Chain A
Amino acid sequence: MTAPATPASSPATAGERPGVRMARSRRNAELSLLLLAMALVAAYGAMVEANVLDTVTPGFWVPAATLTAVFLGMHLVIRFLAPFADPALLPAVALLNGLGVGFLRRLDLANAAPEERADLAIFAGIGGRQLAWTLISVVLAAGLLALMRDHRSISRYAYTLGLAGIVLVMLPAVLPASISEINGAKLWVRIGSFSIQPGEFAKLALLVFFAYYLVRKREVLSLASHRFLGIDFPRGRDLGPVLVVWVISLLVLVFEKDLGTSLLYFGMFVATVYIATERVSWLLIGLVLFFGGAYLAYVLGEAVGGPFANFYLRAEIWLDPFAEPYDDGYQLVQGLLALGSGGLFGAGPGGGQPLLLPEVQNDFIFAGIGEEIGLFGLSALLVIYLLIVERGLRAALAVRDSFGKLLAGGLAFTLALQVFVIVGGISKLIPLTGQTTPFLSAGGSSLMANWLLIAVLLRVSDAGRRPVDGAGGKVTRPSGPPEQLHGAPTEVIKP
């Protein structure tokens, strides 16, 4: 590993190389991409109405226009507060978010009595609620951009956020099932009819803490090592924090009955440790620990049941969902049948039977959409997710400070992992667990948390693409907290 010696000659400057060409802020590109995305959302809404109602109502464009107004607002906020932010992030996220709202509205149309379908109010049903959540989420994201003028400023709250993250993770586990359990997974906190998934926010808080902790510890974690089979392994005592996170994620697995969240936290941690230390051994240790733990939980679930039984059952369903197609395997079977019925081209927006799918507004939204837009449409959605993730990683590459690199890299990878866990789950690539599909699933927690994640990525990408000397002219460097709160990359000494 070539450790960067100085900022000037480090690989980090690779991110600056495009910066030379891109002294421009590219905000107009963002605007045109955003308008294109919103045109797609409007076209989607029109196709849904044509298929479900056999006619396109004069007001078909209203949800898309509302979304456009919201996202244009966000665009303006970015223009003023993060002018050098990545121009592809907002349009890509807006497209996913808009299609999510459109699909949820399509579910409302299917659920409504035929005579009420034509005049479904814009904020009615889950589609309307999602539209309202979008508004709130975007306002929160804009607020975060306004408050956090420099991403390094949040490292001041790292320990607070770390503690909050652990509390949020453990909260559903310690609360009684009547408050925290929905569909067999203890991931919720329900207050009356209002329920939130604290885990969605916990992942952000924990990641800030990881990034902060690892930047401080990276020398220790990457230096001292034993060499075995050509791979450098860390010292035993440095494994401590990793083991703690491993235990926490297994506890989540067992007590919140949720493999996906557990995999998400652990993957997030292992990835950030790897990025910080550049040591493959951490990846190997992480993979062995996780899969070893999951296999152990499977064996224990078969042998003793108890808290492990749920995991065992999910693994069994994954191995053969058609064994009990109307019972335990019902959800997964219906998901697969929906995807298969969609085939290559899909039934067309509004042309499918999404109501046959259980949880189609949450876990199975990707399958529900997949039935209507087919393999080609889903591939396009995957590419959009990939675009967001790779743009996040690119922001990490471009930004100059270690904390920013870890934060953006970790967040981007977490988003990718979440998409992998849920999409892989409903398509029987891995055991199914209850994760939300970022920006598509109905629900405020997920939408808000993921928009906050995007706000952080926007902020980091702005810092990365901003000309070092302020050559952009219009902006000055943010004043914010003291410079180089946590080390320039010069800290690393090549072993």
Chain B
Amino acid sequence: MNAPLRRVGVVVIVLFGLLFANLNWIQAYKADEYRTSDYNGRVQVAKYDRKRGNIEAGGTALAVSKETDGELKYLRTYPGGAKYAHVLGYEPVNGSATGLERAENDFLAGTSDQLIVNRLRDMVTGDTTAGGNVLLTLSKRAQDTAYDELRGNNNGATKGAAIAIDPATGAVQALVSIPSFDPNPLASHNSNEATSAYNKLEQDAGRPLRNRALGEVLPPGSTFKIVVAAAALENGITKETNIPAGSSYTPPTSGEPIRNAAPSICPESQVTLMNAVTESCNTGFAKLGGQLGPDVLKEKARQFGFEQEDLTVGRLGESGLGVAASRTGSMENPDGGPDPAALAQSSIGQRDVRMTPLQGAMIAAAVANGGSQMRPYLVRQLLAPDRTTVYDTANPRELRRPVSGQVAADLREMMVSVVQNGTGRNARINGYTVGGKTGTAQSAPDRPDHGWFIGFALDSEGKPVSAVCVVLEEAGSGGSAEAARIAGQIMRAAIAEPGGR
């Protein structure tokens, strides 16, 4: 029996060898992955030893860590509640953070390379200094107005978004998405409370966790006509050129006629481009798009920022909140041949054209800023834990130039006409020149229309002060007029309290 006993001894050594090899795999090879895993509570406990820095806007703290007497030393709180939820995100004990809490985590948590001097000092003194502070560009007043007006919109829309940016710098003045959520329960140290709060939001049909201002793409409707008009102005058409219009237009290959929003709009056979924009003449733009062709339209949209997949809004030159790509979609047949019906519908912002609210605001901002589109950003400054040293001050930079100064001036004139004489009257502000474009976009055949407004405000010297986009999802009739009113209110607030640059 000794030979098999010896072999059993070998088998045991093999079994233990397997255990040993597997432990090497886990504790050596995979150790870093497991140590920093999102599911690893140790990361959290260590993280909560250090006071996380504030996120502030206009001198008001929006995210603050408060000392507790629990095992986790600091509790993250959000005094601004739901109003800032989509900008700040939240920092949960388990799972991953969202919003700027995620994007600026290194600096807030004090683990950033920029704060190495502080950490070295800690090693000597034995203290644990707090993380750094992040100062935002937001105007508190504009953000309040945007949140309150969106929530209290007269059309009763429950979903929507508003974003306001400074056209000259790209600094975001307001960013709101409704429905919103209170981030405080999500940051609770009681994991049951946090989980049930999260599950409730996750299952909410209104999808409150979604940042609609940056992440939702919807058909832009007539707001897209600014892009088409820009393409036309670059292709031999002036704002006074007469373009074909009419009460109805049936594209050559399709039986589906395109009509105007009301019979009173451009029933005549020809209108000037200026009037077509002012009245939002669908037939005129459908024919104009057909004349320009899909390639010209798509290229112009791309120059305004459509199709960009990697845009982020946070700290300039660093990561931030992700932005969904706006799309023009196909304007051709599946086989690549011309499809006049698709082209006509795309020219009035329907069919497969999709736009984020941010993209709408960036179009208006480029027009207001003489054709120069600035890169949008939210983080104005990084401030050391002791609030004496400034680490990073935003240095505004141009993102692209979608149109020349002349084309921008023409577009500006047409958009001002929309607010003074056309569909965007609700956006007017005393003492300021306001321009814009409304949009009413069909959502689904049996659902109410989305209401859009993109616009800008110029001061008495013609300098742009704010560009805004408001969308009310499924707002129904009058949605775009309500969006224009809200946009005016937001710009008024941004003018009164400009926020940081």
A130 contacts B by Cβ under 8 Å: no
Count of B interface residues, CB-CB < 8 Å:
36
Contact yes or no, A339 B39, CB < 8 A:
no
Assuming the contacts A386-B12, A386-B13, A416-B15, asked whether A343 and B22 have C-beta atoms less than 8 A apart, the reply is no
List, in ascending order, chain B residues with CB within 8 A of A15's CB.
2
Contact yes or no, B18 A424, CB < 8 A:
yes
Contact yes or no, B27 A278, CB < 8 A:
no
| A2, A4, A341, A378: the one within 8 Å of B34 (CB) | A341
A31 contacts B by Cβ under 8 Å: no
Contact yes or no, B35 A2, CB < 8 A:
no
Q: Mark B88-123, 1 if CB is under 8 A from A, else 0.
A: 000000100000000000000000000000000000
Contact yes or no, B26 A336, CB < 8 A:
yes
| Bound: A12/B40 CA distance, A | 52
Output the least CB separation between B18 and chain A (Å). Answer: 6
Contact yes or no, B41 A353, CB < 8 A:
yes
| Bound: A427/B33 CA distance, A | 15
Tell me the residues in window 334-349 of chain A with beta carbons closer than 8 Å to chain B beta carbons.
Answer: 334, 336-337, 339-344
| Chain A interface, DSSP helix/strand/loop, else mixed | helix
B205 contacts A by Cβ under 8 Å: no
Output the least CB separation between A270 and chain B (Å). Answer: 11
Contact yes or no, A378 B27, CB < 8 A:
yes
| A378, A402, A416, A428: the one within 8 Å of B12 (CB) | A416
A52 contacts B by Cβ under 8 Å: no
Tell me the residues in window 40-83 of chain B with beta carbons closer than 8 Å to chain A beta carbons.
Answer: 40-42, 45
List, in ascending order, chain A residues with CB within 8 A of B23's CB.
339, 370, 375, 378-379, 382, 427
Contact yes or no, B16 A420, CB < 8 A:
yes
Q: Which of B9, B33, B41 has the most CB of A within 10 A?
A: B9
Contact yes or no, B27 A12, CB < 8 A:
no
| Bound: A1/B195 CA distance, A | 63
Output the least CB separation between A179 and chain B (Å). Answer: 29
Output the least CB separation between A346 and chain B (Å). Answer: 9
A14 contacts B by Cβ under 8 Å: yes
Contact yes or no, B4 A274, CB < 8 A:
yes
A305 contacts B by Cβ under 8 Å: no
B406 contacts A by Cβ under 8 Å: no
Output the least CB separation between A364 and chain B (Å). Answer: 13
A34 contacts B by Cβ under 8 Å: no
B20 contacts A by Cβ under 8 Å: yes
Assuming the contacts A337-B34, A396-B5, asked whether A343 and B12 have C-beta atoms less than 8 A apart, the reply is no
Smallest CB gap from B38: residue in A: A325
Tell me the residues in window 74-111 of chain A with beta carbons closer than 8 Å to chain B beta carbons.
Answer: none
A472 contacts B by Cβ under 8 Å: no
List, in ascending order, chain A residues with CB within 8 A of B40's CB.
337, 340-341
A20 contacts B by Cβ under 8 Å: no
Smallest CB gap from A375: residue in B: B27
Contact yes or no, A375 B28, CB < 8 A:
yes
List, in ascending order, chain A residues with CB within 8 A of B12's CB.
386, 389-390, 393, 412-413, 416
Contact yes or no, B18 A374, CB < 8 A:
no
User: For chains A and B in complex, what number of residue pairs have CB atoms within 8 angstroms?
Assistant: 143
List, in ascending order, chain A residues with CB within 8 A of B41's CB.
337, 353, 356
B24 contacts A by Cβ under 8 Å: yes
Contact yes or no, B2 A11, CB < 8 A:
yes
| Bound: A353/B94 CA distance, A | 15
A309 contacts B by Cβ under 8 Å: no
| Bound: A110/B3 CA distance, A | 49
Q: Mark B306-319, 1 if CB is under 8 A from A, else 0.
A: 00000000000000
A33 contacts B by Cβ under 8 Å: no
| B3, B31, B35, B39: the one within 8 Å of A11 (CB) | B3
Output the least CB separation between A230 and chain B (Å). Answer: 17
A423 contacts B by Cβ under 8 Å: yes
Contact yes or no, A353 B26, CB < 8 A:
no
Contact yes or no, B15 A420, CB < 8 A:
yes
| A276, A325, A339: the one within 8 Å of B1 (CB) | A276
| Bound: A343/B12 CA distance, A | 25
A275 contacts B by Cβ under 8 Å: yes
Contact yes or no, A393 B9, CB < 8 A:
yes
Q: Which of B2, B28, B41, B42 has the most CB of A within 10 A?
A: B2
List, in ascending order, chain B residues with CB within 8 A of A271's CB.
8
Contact yes or no, A356 B42, CB < 8 A:
yes
Q: Mark A48-92, 1 if CB is under 8 A from B, else 0.
A: 000000000000000000000000000000000000000000000
| Bound: A316/B18 CA distance, A | 21
| Bound: A333/B39 CA distance, A | 8
| Bound: A344/B24 CA distance, A | 8
| Bound: A341/B4 CA distance, A | 40
| A333, A339, A489: the one within 8 Å of B27 (CB) | A339
A397 contacts B by Cβ under 8 Å: yes
Count of A interface residues, CB-CB < 8 Å:
58
| B1, B30, B33: the one within 8 Å of A278 (CB) | B1
Smallest CB gap from A417: residue in B: B15
B19 contacts A by Cβ under 8 Å: yes
Contact yes or no, A406 B1, CB < 8 A:
yes
List, in ascending order, chain A residues with CB within 8 A of B291's CB.
none
Contact yes or no, B8 A340, CB < 8 A:
no
Contact yes or no, A343 B31, CB < 8 A:
yes
Contact yes or no, B20 A382, CB < 8 A:
yes
Output the least CB separation between B191 and chain A (Å). Answer: 9
A429 contacts B by Cβ under 8 Å: yes
B6 contacts A by Cβ under 8 Å: yes
B37 contacts A by Cβ under 8 Å: yes
Assuming the contacts A337-B42, A339-B34, A344-B31, asked whether A429 and B19 have C-beta atoms less than 8 A apart, the reply is yes
Contact yes or no, A2 B3, CB < 8 A:
yes
List, in ascending order, chain A residues with CB within 8 A of B22's CB.
424, 427-429
| Bound: A406/B4 CA distance, A | 10
Contact yes or no, A370 B27, CB < 8 A:
yes
Contact yes or no, B45 A405, CB < 8 A:
no
| Bound: A342/B94 CA distance, A | 20
Output the least CB separation between A384 and chain B (Å). Answer: 11
List, in ascending order, chain A residues with CB within 8 A of B3's CB.
1-2, 11, 278
| A340, A342, A424: the one within 8 Å of B33 (CB) | A340
Contact yes or no, A409 B5, CB < 8 A:
yes
A326 contacts B by Cβ under 8 Å: yes
List, in ascending order, chain B residues with CB within 8 A of A416's CB.
12, 15-16
| Bound: A402/B1 CA distance, A | 8
Q: Which of B20, B26, B39 has the most CB of A within 10 A?
A: B26
A385 contacts B by Cβ under 8 Å: yes
List, in ascending order, chain A residues with CB within 8 A of B39's CB.
322, 325-326, 333-334, 337
Assuming the contacts A336-B34, A378-B23, asked whether A489 and B18 have C-beta atoms less than 8 A apart, the reply is no
Output the least CB separation between B400 and chain A (Å). Answer: 41
List, in ascending order, chain A residues with CB within 8 A of B31's CB.
340-344
| Bound: A82/B4 CA distance, A | 27
| Bound: A379/B22 CA distance, A | 11
List, in ascending order, chain B residues with CB within 8 A of A375's CB.
23-24, 27-28
List, in ascending order, chain B residues with CB within 8 A of A370's CB.
23, 27
List residues of B whose CB falls within 8 A of some A CB: 1-6, 8-9, 11-13, 15-16, 18-20, 22-24, 26-28, 30-35, 37, 39-42, 45, 94, 195
Q: Supply 11 further A-B pairs (C-beta < 8 A) apart from A274-B4, A386-B13, A409-B1.
A: A4-B2, A325-B39, A334-B39, A339-B27, A340-B32, A379-B20, A393-B5, A396-B1, A413-B11, A416-B16, A423-B19
List 6 contacting pairs A-B, 8 Å CB cutoff, sorted by A. Answer: A4-B1, A11-B2, A14-B2, A341-B42, A353-B41, A386-B16
**The 9 nearest A-B residue pairs measured at CB:** A340-B34, A11-B2, A375-B27, A343-B31, A416-B12, A337-B40, A356-B41, A429-B22, A275-B4
